[in-house]
C-alpha cells in the first residue's frame, strides 16, 4: 500500500509538473499572440521603430483607415486626438495641431506641412479622398530640421501602398450610405519581373449628396463627386538600388450649398417677394438664389508625383526624392448670403493654379556604434497664380462688368541640413539637428478690369496696383534645429526631452478687397518648443503607452482672422479675411495607448490638451457693431482693432479624445466582430460665435469576415449629435445691408451604410 501510495504520488507529481509546464507554455504562447505588431516609421528619414523615436509621432495604418471608413482626409480627425480638420469648400479648410491653427486661404504657409510619399504637396490637395494608403504619419511639434518646409505645429506624411514584388494581389471595396453615397475603390499589384519590378494600380470613385444640405429657395441639394487614379512602380535594378515612383491624378466637383442660420432682416430690396424665413443651423438649409439659380460649385484637379531613389553603399544610404505637384481649382459662388433677389447676386470666381517642384538629397550613415549622421540639401520651386473675379450686380450704381484681383507669384527655397545621433552610453542618446534655409519670392498684386471689362475699362486694365514695387520682392532666411536627449530606462521605457524651433516666412493677405499695404502684409514667424515625453511597452509587449508635455513660445505668430468688416477706399464696408501677427504661447499634454487585452479584444485611444493664447497687449482686426447691427470702423482705419491678449490664438478645442475598440469571435469558417470609434471635442472659442459647445460622436460597426472578404453594417455619428465647428457672425451684408443670416458649419449628421470588400 505504501509503495502504491508512493507510486500514485509520483504520478501526481509528474502530472502536476506537466500541467504547470503546459500552463506556462500556454501563457507564453498567449502572451506571444497578444504582442502588438512593431510600428516602423520614417519620421526621422530612417526606418525606425516608433518607440525608439524621441518625439511625439502617431501612425494610422491603411487597415485602420479602412476599418473606420476614413474615406476623406478630414475623417482622420476622429482617429487622432489633438488634430482638428475642417473642410470648408473642398479646396480649402482649417487644420489645427497642438492648438496651432492654419487656414489655407490665409496665404500663409501651413502650420502643419503635408507630404505625399515624402514630397511636399499643397495643403488644398490633401483635403480630398483617401484610397489605397499604407500609412499616415502625424509628427507633432515644430519641424525645424528634417522636413522640407519648416513648420511650427507638425507635419503629416501620407505613404501610399507600394507594389508587391512577388505575387499578384488586390482588393475591391464598395461603401454605400443613406445620402445616396457610393464609394468604390480598387487596387491591384502585378510583379512584372518577380523580385525586381512590380506595378500597382489604384482608383476610387465617390459620389454622394454630402451632408444633404438643401437650398431653401431653389430646392437643390449639396453634392460631392470625386474620381482618381494612381499607378506606382517599384524597381530593384540592383541589390543596393531601389526606385519607387508614384503618380496620382484626382478630379473633384462639389455643389457647395452652405448652411445658414438666422432671422431675415426683412429689408425689401434683399427679399422683394418675402420668401426668406427663419432658419436654424440644424435645418441644414441655404438661402441664396445662386448664380443663374444654380448652386455654388468647386471644380478642382490635382496631380501628385513622387520619385524616391535609395542607394545602399557599404556603410551609407543615399536618398534622392523628387516631387511634382499641380493644382488647378476654381470656386464659383454667390457672395450675397441671405439674399432672395436675383438682381443682387454677387458672383465670385476664385481660381487657384499652382505647381511645386521639389528635390531633396540625403546621405546617411548606417549602424555606427557611437555616431550616426545625416546631411542633406533641399530645393523647391513654386509657381502660383491666384485670381478672384468679382462680378458687379446689374442694379449696382457702378457700371456692369467685373473686377479681377490678380496675385501671381514665383518662389524658390533652398536649404541644407544635418541630423546627428550620438550614442553616449547604452542608456543615453543625444540627437542634434540643424537647418539653414533661404526663401525668395517674386510676387505682385493688382486689381484689374475683369474678363468683360468694367465701364469704360477694357479687360485686363489695371485699376489699382495693390503691391508697391518695394514689396514685390520678398527675401528671408532662417536657422532652425532641434536638440534631444533620450534615456533608456530599461528595455521597454524611453524618456526624452527636446528643444526645437520652427519658422514660417512672412507674406501678403490675398483678398479681393482693396486695403492698404500695411494691413495686407504680415511678418515671418519664429517659435521655440520645449517637450518632455516618454514611450513605454508594457504587458510583455501587449500594450504601448506614450505621452508628452510641451510648451511653445511664438514671436509674431501668424494667424487668420476671418469675416472681418473692412472699409474700402470708396467708403463701402465689405467683409474679408486678414492674416496678422501677434506674440503668443501654447502649452499642453498628450497621451496615447494601444493594447491587446485578449486574443480577440483590442483597444486604443488618445487624449490631448492644448491651450494657446495671445500675449497681453496684442491687437488684431475685429468686428464691432452698433445697436442696429451695423459695422463700426473708426475714422482713418480700414478695420476695427481689439485687444486680444489672453484670447485663444485659433479655433481649436483645448480638450479632445479618441477611443477605438474591436472585439471579434470565431464562428468556424468566418469571424464576427463589433467595432466602435468614440471622439470627443471640447469647448472651443471663435471670435464671431464665442464659445462653441463640446460634442461627442460615436461610430459603430458590425460585420463578418474571412481572410478574403469582409461585409459590415455601420453608422457614423450614431446618436445624431448636433454641434457647430465654426461659422461667421449674424450680420452678413448684402449691398451694405445686414441680412440677419450667417454661415454655419455643423458636424456631419448621422450616416447609415454598408461596406463590402474582397481581397485576392
State pLDDT tens for residues 587-635: 999 999 999 999 999 999 999 999 999 999 998 888 888 887 788 888 8
* pLDDT on residue 566: 85
Contact 101, 94 (CB under 8 A): yes
Which positions ≥6 away from 211 have C-beta within 8 Å? 179, 222, 284, 746, 748, 749
451: pLDDT strictly greater than 80:
yes
Q: Across the chain, what does the average pLDDT equal?
A: 89
* pLDDT on residue 295: 73
Which range scores top for mean pLDDT: 104-118, 209-223, 554-568, 588-602?
A: 588-602
Q: How confident is the model at residue 13 (pLDDT cuts 50, 70, 90)?
A: very low
516: pLDDT strictly greater than 60:
yes
Residue recorded with cell 487656414: 103
Q: How confident is the model at residue 543 (pLDDT cuts 50, 70, 90)?
A: very high
How many CA atoms lie within 13 Å of 508's alpha carbon, on the beta-carbon side?
Answer: 27
Rg (CA), the chain: 28
Least confident of 41-50, 114-123, 509-518: 509-518
Eight-state DSSP code of residue 51:
G
**DSSP states of 194-243:** TTTEEEEEEEEEEEE-TT--EETTT--B-EEEEEEEEEEEEEEEETTEEE
Q: How far apart (Å, rounded) are the C-alpha atoms in residues 689 and 261?
A: 12
| Cβ count near 19 (within 10 Å) | 10
Q: How far apart (Å, rounded) are the C-alpha atoms in residues 200 and 168?
A: 10
Q: Which domains does the chain have, with CATH numbers?
A: 40-759 (2.40.170.20)
Q: What angle do CA 281, 286, 292 make, to 5 degrees?
A: 170
Nearest CA among 174, 177, 72 for reference residue 755: 174
* pLDDT on residue 538: 95
Which positions ≥6 away from 518 have C-beta within 8 Å? none
| Cβ count near 94 (within 10 Å) | 26
* pLDDT on residue 577: 81
Q: 520-524 contacts: CB < 8 A, separation 24 or more? A: 520/445, 520/466, 520/467, 520/578, 521/471, 522/108, 522/556, 522/558, 522/579, 522/580, 522/581, 523/556, 523/581, 524/476, 524/478, 524/556
* pLDDT on residue 104: 67
331: pLDDT strictly greater than 60:
yes
Main-chain phi, psi angles of 635, to 5 degrees: -55, 140
90: pLDDT strictly greater than 70:
no
Mean pLDDT of 508-516: 75
How many CA atoms lie within 13 Å of 558's alpha carbon, on the beta-carbon side?
Answer: 31
Q: Which residue has the higher pLDDT, 293 or 243?
A: 243
Sort strands 214-215 and 285-286 into parallel, antiparallel or unpaired.
parallel
Amino acid at each position: 500500500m505504501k509503495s502504491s501510495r508512493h507510486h500514485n504520488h509520483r504520478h501526481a507529481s509528474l502530472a502536476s509538473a506537466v500541467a504547470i509546464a503546459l500552463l506556462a507554455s500556454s501563457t507564453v504562447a498567449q502572451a506571444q499572440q497578444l504582442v502588438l505588431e512593431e510600428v516602423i516609421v520614417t519620421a526621422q528619414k530612417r526606418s525606425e521603430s516608433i518607440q525608439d523615436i524621441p518625439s511625439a509621432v502617431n501612425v494610422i495604418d491603411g487597415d485602420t483607415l479602412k476599418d473606420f471608413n476614413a474615406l476623406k482626409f478630414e475623417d482622420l480627425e476622429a482617429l487622432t486626438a489633438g488634430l482638428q480638420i475642417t473642410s470648408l469648400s473642398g479646396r480649402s479648410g482649417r487644420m489645427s495641431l497642438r492648438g496651432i491653427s492654419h487656414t489655407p486661404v490665409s496665404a500663409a504657409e501651413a502650420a502643419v506641412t503635408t507630404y505625399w510619399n515624402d514630397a511636399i504637396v499643397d495643403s488644398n490637395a490633401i483635403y480630398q479622398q483617401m484610397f489605397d494608403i499604407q500609412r499616415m504619419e502625424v509628427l507633432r511639434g515644430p519641424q525645424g530640421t528634417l522636413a522640407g518646409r519648416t513648420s511650427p505645429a507638425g507635419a503629416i506624411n501620407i505613404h501610399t501602398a507600394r507594389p508587391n514584388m512577388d505575387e499578384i494581389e488586390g482588393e475591391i471595396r464598395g461603401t454605400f450610405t443613406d445620402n445616396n453615397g457610393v464609394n468604390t475603390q480598387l487596387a491591384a499589384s502585378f510583379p512584372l519581373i518577380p523580385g525586381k519590378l512590380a506595378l500597382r494600380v489604384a482608383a476610387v470613385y465617390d459620389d454622394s449628396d454630402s451632408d444633404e444640405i438643401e437650398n431653401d429657395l431653389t430646392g437643390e441639394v449639396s453634392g460631392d463627386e470625386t474620381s482618381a487614379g494612381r499607378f506606382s512602380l517599384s524597381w530593384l535594378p540592383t541589390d543596393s538600388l531601389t526606385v519607387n515612383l508614384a503618380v496620382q491624378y484626382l478630379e473633384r466637383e462639389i455643389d457647395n450649398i452652405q448652411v445658414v442660420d438666422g432671422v431675415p432682416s426683412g429689408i425689401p430690396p434683399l427679399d422683394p417677394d418675402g420668401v426668406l424665413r427663419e432658419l436654424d443651423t440644424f435645418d441644414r438649409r441655404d438661402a441664396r438664389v445662386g448664380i443663374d439659380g444654380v448652386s455654388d460649385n468647386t471644380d478642382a484637379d490635382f496631380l501628385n508625383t513622387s520619385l524616391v531613389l535609395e542607394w545602399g553603399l557599404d556603410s551609407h544610404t543615399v536618398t534622392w526624392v523628387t516631387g511634382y505637384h499641380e493644382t488647378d481649382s476654381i470656386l464659383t459662388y454667390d457672395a450675397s448670403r441671405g439674399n432672395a433677389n436675383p438682381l443682387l447676386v454677387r458672383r465670385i470666381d476664385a481660381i487657384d493654379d499652382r505647381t511645386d517642384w521639389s528635390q531633396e538629397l540625403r546621405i546617411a550613415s548606417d549602424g555606427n556604434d557611437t555616431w550616426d549622421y545625416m546631411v542633406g540639401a533641399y530645393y523647391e520651386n513654386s509657381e502660383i497664380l491666384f485670381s478672384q473675379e468679382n462680378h458687379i450686380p446689374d442694379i449696382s450704381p457702378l457700371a456692369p462688368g467685373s473686377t479681377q484681383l490678380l496675385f501671381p507669384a514665383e518662389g524658390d527655397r533652398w536649404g541644407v541640413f544635418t541630423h546627428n545621433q550620438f550614442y553616449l552610453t547604452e542608456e543615453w542618446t543625444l540627437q542634434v539637428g540643424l537647418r539653414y534655409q533661404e526663401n525668395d519670392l517674386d510676387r505682385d498684386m493688382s486689381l484689374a478690369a475683369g474678363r468683360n471689362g468694367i465701364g469704360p475699362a477694357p479687360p485686363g486694365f489695371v485699376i489699382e496696383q495693390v503691391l508697391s514695387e518695394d514689396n514685390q520682392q520678398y527675401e528671408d532666411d532662417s536657422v532652425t534645429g532641434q536638440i534631444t536627449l533620450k534615456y533608456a530606462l530599461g528595455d521597454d521605457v524611453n524618456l526624452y526631452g527636446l528643444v526645437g524651433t520652427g519658422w514660417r516666412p512672412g507674406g501678403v493677405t490675398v483678398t479681393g478687397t482693396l486695403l492698404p499695404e500695411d494691413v495686407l502684409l504680415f511678418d515671418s514667424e519664429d517659435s521655440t518648443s520645449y517637450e518632455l515625453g516618454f514611450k513605454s511597452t508594457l504587458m510583455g509587449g501587449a500594450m504601448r503607452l506614450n505621452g508628452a508635455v510641451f510648451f511653445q513660445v511664438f514671436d509674431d505668430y501668424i494667424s487668420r482672422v476671418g469675416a472681418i468688416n473692412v472699409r474700402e477706399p470708396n467708403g463701402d464696408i465689405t467683409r474679408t479675411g486678414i492674416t496678422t501677427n501677434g506674440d503668443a504661447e501654447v502649452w499642453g499634454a498628450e497621451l496615447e495607448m494601444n493594447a491587446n487585452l485578449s486574443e480577440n479584444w483590442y483597444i486604443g485611444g488618445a487624449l490631448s490638451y492644448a491651450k494657446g493664447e495671445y500675449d497681453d497687449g496684442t491687437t488684431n482686426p475685429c468686428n464691432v457693431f452698433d445697436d442696429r447691427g451695423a459695422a463700426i470702423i473708426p475714422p482713418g482705419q480700414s478695420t476695427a482693432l481689439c485687444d486680444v491678449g489672453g484670447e485663444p490664438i485659433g479655433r481649436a478645442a483645448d480638450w479632445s479624445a479618441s477611443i477605438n475598440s474591436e472585439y471579434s469571435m470565431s464562428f468556424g469558417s468566418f469571424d464576427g466582430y463589433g467595432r466602435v470609434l468614440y471622439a470627443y471635442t471640447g469647448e472651443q472659442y471663435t471670435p464671431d460665435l464665442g464659445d462653441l459647445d463640446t460634442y461627442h460622436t460615436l461610430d459603430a460597426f458590425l460585420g463578418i469576415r474571412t481572410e478574403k472578404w469582409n461585409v459590415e453594417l455601420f453608422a457614423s455619428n450614431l446618436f445624431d449629435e448636433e454641434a457647430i465647428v465654426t461659422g461667421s457672425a449674424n450680420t452678413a451684408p448684402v449691398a451694405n445691408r445686414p441680412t440677419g443670416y450667417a454661415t454655419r458649419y455643423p458636424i456631419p449628421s448621422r450616416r447609415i451604410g454598408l461596406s463590402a470588400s474582397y481581397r485576392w
